[in-house]
A = this chain, B = another copy of it.
Amino acid sequence: MSANKPDISERALQLLKALTERYIREGQPVGSRTLSRESGLNFSPATIRNVMADLEDLGLIRSPHTSAGRIPTVQGYRMFVDTLLTVKPLDEFTVDRMRTELDTDHDSKSLVTTASSLLSGITHLAGIVTLPRREHASLKRVEFLPLSEHRVLAVLVISDREVQNRILNVDRPYTASELQQASNYLNGQFAGRNLEEVRRSLIRDMKSDRADMDRMMRTAVEMADSALNAAEEGDDFVMAGETNLMEFEELCNPATLRQLFEGFNRKRDILHLLDQCVNGAGMQIFIGEESGYQMLDECSVVTAPYSVDGRVVGVLGVIGPTRMAYERIIPIVDATARIMGAALNPRE
């Protein structure tokens, strides 16, 4: 909000940092005595108490009740994350492990699943990864196969690891050679161009009543259009390790758990949240209520977009309790996003 940074002393920030770290580690409200021992600064508990009172006035920490220690508020975590955090560099071993797991021959669905499990496995939180957007992927080829009187199979070849099927309902039977002609025409026109471009061209073609379009071409265009528009596979993101969240005292009560898991199943809210991260610049962190979804009130979400050819195509991240080890989690999410992007890039 306002630039209240000058109002707050260096010492107070040090204490906020120490307090937050301790609370993240132990999960118990932190008292002045503890902090006096652990802060590094050499002050008596009484002094610490004065500073803590200031921090409380600023809304950075609060006590769950009179005469318990203090815990960070959302604003406290925010300040901690934004200005006090010293991220741990990620050890090479883990990076290697991720790279090998993600770099082995995958279609994008299984890549996403693996990434999600990796994230949850390494962080012990819940991992989420959106499926990569396809609009900018290029279409290598289209093939049509007759299935039955009123059905045609469209095969969209996007890369040598990525193929999609669409079953089209058509109004009359088509012969194999008709379909062959259609796909030849389309491949000639569109092969190598990206899906979004193709879609736009198709719409243009369908609107224009060009004289030079024979019946076959028209058929081809219409088929391609319905093939491209056929709904993408339903799940827009993949989640793993939800059960990890049950390990945390603060989330582990029936009411919270239920709210959380029902939200996960609904998918809608999570999807909304993730969508916001596609556009945001780089890594994004939502702490507690910041996300704006009640189900995530006690959680933090750390996300990073991943890109192919410098273009953001998806988002991945983790969900955990607000009291998560940000300094460890952040580099993991960051690295995963980079490796994910690399794994999606065409080889050779």
Contact = CB atoms under 8 A, between A and B. Distances in A.
Interface of A: 105, 107, 110, 140-141, 143, 145, 147-148, 151, 153, 155, 157, 160-161, 163, 165, 167, 169, 234, 242-243, 246-247, 252-254, 257-258, 261-262, 265
Contact of A265 (B160, B243, B247): B243
A185 B101 CA distance: 38
A163 B153 contact: yes
Contacts of A110: 234
Contacts of A160: 147-148, 151, 167
Contacts of A261: 242-243, 246
Nearest to A155: B155
A177 B212 CA distance: 31
Task: List 4 A-B pairs, minimum CB-CB distance, nearest first.
Answer: A148-B160, A147-B160, A246-B258, A252-B254
What DSSP secondary structure best describes chain A's contact surface?
Answer: mixed
A311 B250 CA distance: 50
Contacts of A265: 242-243
Contacts of A143: 143, 145
Given A243-B262, A246-B257, A153 B153 contact: no
A254 B243 contact: no
Contact of A254 (B155, B165, B253, B262): B253
A234 B262 CA distance: 24
A155 B145 contact: yes
B153 A157 contact: yes
A105 B141 CA distance: 27
A261 B157 CA distance: 37
Contacts of A157: 145, 147, 153
Contacts of A257: 246, 254, 257
A253 to B, nearest CB: 7
